[in-house]
Chain A
Amino acid sequence: MSDSVLIRLFVNGEEHALAAPPQRTLLEALRYDLQLTGSKQGCDKGDCGACTVLVRERSATGRGEPILACITLAQDAQDLAIITIEGLATPAGLDPIQQAFADCGALQCGFCQPGMMLSARALLDRCERPSLPQIQDALSGNLCRCTGYTKIYEAIQVAAGLREPSSRAPVSSEKALPSDQVAYAVKELLP
């Protein structure tokens, strides 16, 4: 067991103090010490983006830029203002990005999405009307295994006011004629 150190973190506008081993990562501190479990752990080491949070210098303004909490040391994040997925919504309701993700079916298993939504939020904060290539580029550090990214693009475009949610209607098939039947005896070559 290591000796703990006192770590002060400024998260979602609130100051927290916690005692943890010096090697505590920011992700562990958020998830296990502060119970902010919306930041996810997917790959252990900075490959998948599920732990993305927004950070800025405390003196700076705005929401900040996306970084990876799983390879950031909590102690080294003490001078930063951190925004996690829990800090995106306001008492008035979900952030437009969150609302659009929910409305557009951009959330399937939902596990990569906190990181994805924070990357998307940072994109819209610096670019109100992004092009598709800009969206694709901004999300390229967040791996999603469910959606093929398609509905995520849609959600960001909806949040940016660039389009309405998809409403393409299904197409009915006509009754297809049965083909001529051929019946053979089955040979079981092996039980």
Chain B
Amino acid sequence: MLTLPRLQLHRPGSVREAVELLASKPNARVLAGGTDIVPNLKHGIYETEHLIALRGLSSELRYVRRDGGRDGDSIRLGALCTIDQLSKDPDVLQSLPALADACRQIAGPQLRKMGTLGGNLCLDTRCVYINQSYFWRSALGFCLKKDGTACHVVAQGLRCVAAASNDTAPVLLALGASVRIVGPRGERVVPLADFYLHDGIHNTVLEPDELLVEAAVPLPAARLKQAFFKLRTRAAIDYSAINLAVALAVSPAGLVTALRLCVSALAARPALINRLQDLVGQPADLHLAEELGRRAQKQCKPLTNIGVDPAYRREILPVLVRRTVLRAIAS
């Protein structure tokens, strides 16, 4: 059996303790559900001797709360909510149906019981050339992300383009969510739109000694119409080959008043499709859905970092966007 490297496990009982441990143990990493980090550790992708297990923080960080704030209502999701929990939570189903839908499509039932929202948002980027054993990567000659200097996806590429593969991220980006981060220097709230970076080696602004503790989604008075879609080869136990989420607000007259579209499983950062302002005020209809499809295709360049033909993924993207937008409009 593939074994884990030698390491120490620390089991803090509170966020404070966890953050202190993160700061005091060199190269420490966080263990929540373990569904991403444990395979990666077995593959020798991380140099770490210290794992900080968060199971003891469950009572602190496992919640779905609605509350009113200065900017209106929001729904707050504790980072240790399991994926399974979010797929069934009545508040999530009611207010964030696209998130529940995304969660239902993550991996398989057991992994959804284990995996957490925080873990999914911080999921390491994935690439066919990195998520492999040490032997396999050594036969390849390693790569930019770990132990090597070359990128096998982009010839002469200097920046790692391993793909953001989390399914909750595009939904929460489309819904305008932010995340709360706790570290030794205190607490900060970062809009999710500013959370992800264009770097497959480390694709978030999270510092090594910080912990993501919560995601919050604003709930505007007029509920957003929303939908999520995941393209994958098999119907379970599979990462996205493309995922996308759309959220839009529609006036009683049927005109779009706000609009966000996010496409991911492309490169290190989920892509919020930009320059959509001119579509605000347009009717929410087939024409809009097709236009969004065209713009997404223009802005998205699938790569060979994922094992499904990039040309094909790009080709069908407008169809997937059109259908998802229409589904959102009809919701």
**Which A residues lie at the B interface, using CB under 8 A?**
2, 21-25, 27-28, 41, 44-47, 49, 52, 65-68, 70-73, 75-76, 79, 119, 137-138, 140-143
A75–B4 touching, CB < 8 Å: no
User: Total contacts A to B, CB within 8 angstroms?
Assistant: 93
B55: A residues at CB distance < 8 A: 76, 79
- Tell me which residues across on chain A come within 8 A of B236, comparing CB atoms: 140-141
Q: Counting CB contacts under 8 A, is B189 at the interface?
A: no
**Cβ-based interface call for B35 (8 A):** yes
Q: How many residues of B contact A (CB 8 A)?
A: 32
The segment out of B109-117, B209-217, B250-258 that lies at the interface is: B109-117
- What's the least CB distance linking B93 to chain A, in Å? 16
Determine if A141 and B237 form an interchain contact, defined as CB atoms under 8 angstroms apart.
yes
- B79 at the binding interface (Cβ < 8 Å): no
Given known pairs A68-B111, A119-B110, the reply for A143 and B38 (CB within 8 Å) is no
Q: Given the interface contacts A28-B1, A44-B1, does A67 sit within 8 Å of B114 by beta carbon?
A: yes
In the complex, identify which listed stretch (B5-13, B179-187, B289-297, B298-306) lies at the interface while the others stay far away: B5-13
Asked if B176 CB lies within 8 Å of chain A CBs, one says no
Residues in A with CB closer than 8 Å to B9 are: 22-23, 73, 75-76
CB distance from A132 to the nearest CB of B (A): 14
> Are B114 and A21 in contact (CB-based, < 8 A)?
no
Q: Known contacts A66-B113, A119-B109: does B5 contact A71 (CB below 8 Å)?
A: no
B235 sits at the interface (CB 8 A): yes
A68 in contact with B110 given A46-B35, A73-B31 (CB within 8 Å): yes
Query: How far does the Cβ of B44 sit from chain A's closest Cβ, in whole Å?
Result: 12
B11 touches A68 (CB 8 A): no
Query: How many angstroms between the C-alpha atoms of A141 and B84 in the bound complex?
Result: 13
Q: How far is the CA of A41 from the CA of B42 in the complex (A)?
A: 14
In chain A, what residue has the closest Cβ to B236? A140
